[in-house]
Amino acid sequence: MNRLKVLQAWLWCVSLWPCWLSHAVPLDCKDETGSLTQCTSISQEKLLDRVIQHAELIYRVSEESCTLFEDMFIPYPLHALRNQGGNLCHTKPFPIPGSKSEIQQISDKWLLHSVLMLVQSWMEPLIYLQTTLSRYDDAPDALLNKTKWVSDKLLSLEQGVLVLIRKMLDEGILTSSSIFEHTLTPYNEQSPEVLESILRDYNLLICFKKDAHKMETFLKLLKCRQSNKLSCLSY
C-alpha cells in the first residue's frame, strides 16, 4: 500500500510536470537596455490587438515581397500563376477550412492552434528563402530586407500566440516544430534549371502570402468573438 501510494503520488507529480513547467518558467522579457526583467503585464485584449497588428503587417509585407519578386524575375505571361493560389503549397498536418461558414464554426481553440501551426510551419522555409534570394544576382535590397523582417516578426508572432493560448485557453504548450520537419523537403532540393528554381521560389512566396492571410483572418475572427460574440457568428 505504501508503495502504491508513493507511486501514485509520483505519477501525479509527473503528470503535473507540464503545469509546473509552464508556471515555473516565466517568459523572459527584455527591456530597452537588454537586461532580463520581469515582464510587465498586459491585458489580453491589448495582447490580441498587438498580435493582430503583427499578423496584418506580416501579410502586407508578404504581399509586397511577392510583387517585388514577380516584377523582377517572373515573365509577364506567368503572372497568372498568382491566381492559381499556390497549388504546390505544402500540406498541413490538419486541413484548414476555406469557406467562411466553416471557419466560423471553428472553435477558439482551434483557431489559435491553427495560427500557431501556420506560424511554426513557415519558420524554416523563410530562412531557406532568405538564403536562396541572396543568391540571386539582381535581387533588390528591399526584397531581401522584407524577407528578413518577416522572418523576425514571425518569431514575435509565435511568442504572442503562445501567450494567448496560455491565457485564453489556459493551456501550456511546449513548443515543438518537429512535426514540420518534413515540410521542408520539397524546398531543399536544388533544381539545376534556373526557371524552375525561380518558379519554385515564386510559389513559395505566394503560399506564404496566403498563409499570412489566413493567420490574419483567424486572429481577427477571434477578436471579433472576444468583443461581440453575436455578430461574429454565422447568420
Partner 1 sequence: SFYRPHFTGCRSREQETFRCWWSAGIFQNLTEPGALRVFYQTKNFLSEWQECPDYTRTVKNECYFNKTFTQIWTSYCIQLRSVRENITYDEACFTVENIVHPDPPIGLNWTLLNVSRSGLHFDVLVRWAPPPSADVQMGWMSLVYQVQYRVRNNSHWEMLDLESGTQQSIYGLHTDKEYEVRVRCKMSAFDNFGEFSDSIIVHVAQIPSKESTFPTTLVLIFGVIGVVILLVLLIFSQQQRLMVIFLPPIPAPKIKGIDPELLKNGKLDQLNSLLSSQDMYKPDFYHEDPWVEFIQLDLDDPAEKNESSDTQHLLGVSRSGSSHVLNFKSDDDSGRASCYDPEIPNPEDLASLLPGHSGRGDNHPLVSRSSSSIPDLGVQQTSEVEETPIQTQPAVPSWVNMDFYAQVSDFTPAGGVVLSPGQLNSCPEKKKEEENEKKIQFQLVSDGAYTSENTARQLSASVPPSPGPEQGYQTFPTQAVEGNLWNGEYLVSTSDSQTPYLLPEAPPAPILPPVSDYTVVQEVDAQHSLLLNPPSSQPAICPHSPNKHLPAMPTMPMGYLTPDLLGNLTP
Of 30, 79, 100, 182, the residue at the interface with partner 1 (CB under 8 A) is 100
Spatial separation of the C-alpha atoms in residues 151 and 121, rounded to whole Å: 12
What 3-state class would DSSP assign to 122?
Answer: coil
**Is position 59 an interface residue for partner 1 (rule: CB under 8 A)?**
yes
Q: How far is the CB of 178 from partner 1 (least distance, A)?
A: 25
Q: How far is the CB of 87 from partner 1 (least distance, A)?
A: 5
Contact indicator for 171, 229 with CB cutoff of 8 Å:
no
Phi, psi of 36 (to 5 degrees): -75, 130
**Is position 56 an interface residue for partner 1 (rule: CB under 8 A)?**
yes
Of 136 and 223, CB closest to partner 1:
223
**Is position 232 an interface residue for partner 1 (rule: CB under 8 A)?**
yes
Spatial separation of the C-alpha atoms in residues 204 and 125, rounded to whole Å: 8
Q: State the amino acid at position 198 in one-letter form.
A: I
Of 49, 63, 108, 124, the residue at the interface with partner 1 (CB under 8 A) is 63
**Is position 49 an interface residue for partner 1 (rule: CB under 8 A)?**
no
Of 99, 176, 178, 185, the residue at the interface with partner 1 (CB under 8 A) is 99
Q: How far is the CB of 217 from partner 1 (least distance, A)?
A: 6
Q: Which stretch binds partner 1 (CB under 8 A): 118-126, 128-136, 148-156, 220-228?
A: 220-228
Contact indicator for 85, 77 with CB cutoff of 8 Å:
no
Q: Which residues pair with 29 in a beta bridge?
A: 37
Spatial separation of the C-alpha atoms in residues 44 and 148, rounded to whole Å: 28
Q: What is the DSSP string of 17-85?
A: HHHHHHHHSPPPEE-TT--EEPPPP--HHHHHHHHHHHHHHHHHHHHHHHHHHHHHHS-GGGGGGGGGT
Q: Which stretch binds partner 1 (CB under 8 A): 92-100, 110-118, 128-136, 197-205?
A: 92-100
**Is position 43 an interface residue for partner 1 (rule: CB under 8 A)?**
no
The footprint of partner 1 on this chain (CB under 8 A) covers a number of residues equal to 34
Which residue ranges make up the site for partner 1 (CB under 8 A)? Answer: 52, 56, 59-60, 63, 80, 82-87, 95-101, 104, 209-210, 213-214, 216-217, 219-221, 223-224, 228, 231-232
